[in-house]
Each structure stands twice: as structure tokens, then as C-alpha cells.
Amino acid sequence: MAPKARPVGRPSARPAKARPPARASNLVGEVASTFAVDETVRHSGTVAFFDKRRGYGFISLSKLGVVPGDKVMVHWSEIQSKDKWPFLVNGLEVEFSLTKVAGTTGATIKGAKVTKPGNQPLSMDEEEEKELEFVGGKTARYQATVKWFNQKNGFGYVTLREPVEKIQDVRVTREEILGGEVLPLAPGLPVELGLYKNKHSTICGYSLTQPGGAVITRAVGEARQEFGPQQFTGELQWFADRGRLGVILP
């Protein structure tokens, strides 16, 4: 069979591939820097999602069209509550304000001052504690020492001074540390805590404090040592608000 003849002349140019449309930002609450927000107005909504361990979630606004996507992000620090680690649960009806946070190219609308409907403080601990099986009772306290704690992942282990039900090393998560923020726990740090059994009957730590009941501060958690009363001055080079750390040059 004779080979097929190739077409004579310049081959036609391939059609240009169509560029995909620019992808819109999927950042919840992202707006232009000129977007106006009245931070004095209270809004109602429903919790769409909340990650207790990471301390953030999203609220769907009851009134549509207030913000793009009708949803805003909320951080645990904006929850008006006396709980040891404020949190929300999916489907919970809440009341809140809106605040605009400036960014490099625009701004983001976030939830602020989150409360119960009627502007009342939230209290989720009481409901959660009703389902816990406390070891020795809710008020029982045990002495322990920090074995290790991973601040990034938010959990670690403490070693009980005296074994309980033949268990000496107990898991503790960051939401059980009484201190009001994401805190480190230095190995060897003496602590006090309650104990409870989870759904798998594993003994876990509850409401961890300093011995005697005082809350864990950052200075205590890091086991800082003071080097005399001398004061120093310096210039702030940078500070990461999320990680709560930075660098000062003398």
C-alpha cells in the first residue's frame, strides 16, 4: 500500500487553548477595602461549622446579602464565655457583630462578640460535662508532671504522681489547659488536673492548672527563668500575632 501523501504547504496553526477564567477567592468574608461595615449592629445566625481543637469556625447569617457568601469566620477569642476554652457547636443559634480586618489587597469580614441570642454569654462546658464520666468525681484533683506536649498539634502527656487504675501517663489536649490561650507546657512542669474517661474508657486529663489551682500563664508554661531585675530596651523586628511570638533586637 502506498504511503499517504503529506499535505504540501505550511500546516495550519493549532488553535490557542482557552485560558481558564480567573478563580475567585474562596476566602470566606473577603471584600474590597472600601466595603462598609457597621460594627455596632448585632446579627443573628447559625453555626455552620466549628473546630474546637483549632479554635475557629464559620457562622451563616440569618439575613442574606449582608456579606458576600452570607457566611463569616469566627475565632474562639471572639466568643463571649467563661468556659475554659470557648467553643461553638454546629447548628447553634448565636448573635454577633461584624468586624472588618484589613489585608494586603482587601479586607475580610469576620464575626465578633459572639453570644447567645439576646446578647447573653455562652456556656458550653456545662452541657459537655454532663456527658463526661469523671474519675473520682468532678472536683477530684491529681498531681502530675508534664512528660511532653506538642503545642502545634495541641496535645501531650502528663505523668501522674500516683497511678490511677494502673494508669500513670495521661493524655491532655490544649482545650483542657486553663489559661485562655494556646500555651506551651515545658517537660517536667508540675501541674494539677482532673480526670475523666472518654467514650473508649480511656482516662484523659481535664482542667489542667498549676498545683493549687492557679491558671497556666505563658511564663509558667514555658518554665521561664528570670535573670535579675535589670531592664533592657530594644527595637521590635517582627511579631506574628497568630503565633504570639516575635524578635526584639537590643
In 3-state terms, what secondary structure has residue 69?
helix
pLDDT digits (tens, 9 = 90+) for 104-136: 888 999 999 999 999 999 988 877 888 889 999
What gap in Å lies between CA 10 and CA 29, rounded to an integer?
53
Q: Which of the four pLDDT bands, split at 50, 70 and 90, describes residue 242?
A: low
What DSSP element (H or E) covers 167? strand 167-173
Q: Which three cell numbers stand for residue 13?
A: 496553526
The larger pLDDT score, comparing residue 22 to residue 169, is at 169
Burial class (CB in 10 A: 0-12, 13-18, 19+), 231: exposed
What DSSP element (H or E) covers 147? strand 142-150
Got the DSSP string for 173-221? EGGGBTTSS-----TT-EEEEEEEE-TT--EEEEEEESTTSPPPPHHHH
Sequence-distant (≥ 6) Cβ neighbours of residue 223 within 8 angstroms: 186, 188, 189
- Quickly tell me which residue has 485560558 as its cell: 19
> Across the strands, what pairs with 195?
205
Got the DSSP string for 23-42? PPP--TTEE-TT----TT--
pLDDT digits (tens, 9 = 90+) for 64-106: 999 999 999 999 899 999 888 888 999 999 999 999 998 888 8
Q: What does the buried/exposed string (b/e) look like for 81-92 if buried means 16 or more CB atoms within 10 Å of the residue's CB?
A: bebbbbbbeeeb
**Do residues 248 and 210 touch, judged by C-beta distance below 8 A?**
no
